[in-house]
Amino acid sequence: HERRYYISSLAPDAERLASAIRQHWGIENRVHWCLDVVFADDQMRARTAHAAHNLATLKRLTLNLLRQDPSQRKGSLKTRRLIASTSDDYRAELLGLK
């Protein structure tokens, strides 16, 4: 058995609490996990001034561009990121310049 404890100002309603917990983990799985897999975000060591925040913003922007790929290119987000890093045409397509 596993037990999880949560602190909340919500009323003790099991359905509502379960929904809030699922929403939290949904965000974790959609954004944070993707950033870690696609950009190795957990390995980032930027620690000076605003570098970490600026890089995180750029990574989220890039992730959103890859998800909204107009060409619907096949492959994982990581593969499409690698293609975008080497192909000027694909990068222009992602940015809406073509």
The end-to-end CA distance of the chain, in Å, is: 55
How far is the C-alpha of 65 from the C-alpha of 95, rounded, in Å? 7
- Specify the long-range contacts of residues 44-49, CB closer than 8 Å, at least 24 apart: none
C-alpha–C-alpha distance, residues 18 and 24, integer Å: 10
Q: What does the pLDDT read at residue 86?
A: 93
pTM over 0.75? The answer is no
Q: What would the pLDDT profile of 23-59 be if each residue is shown by its tens digit?
A: 888 877 777 788 888 888 777 787 787 888 888 888 8
Apex 69 CA angle, 64 and 86, nearest 5: 95
pLDDT tens for 83-96 read 999 999 999 998 88
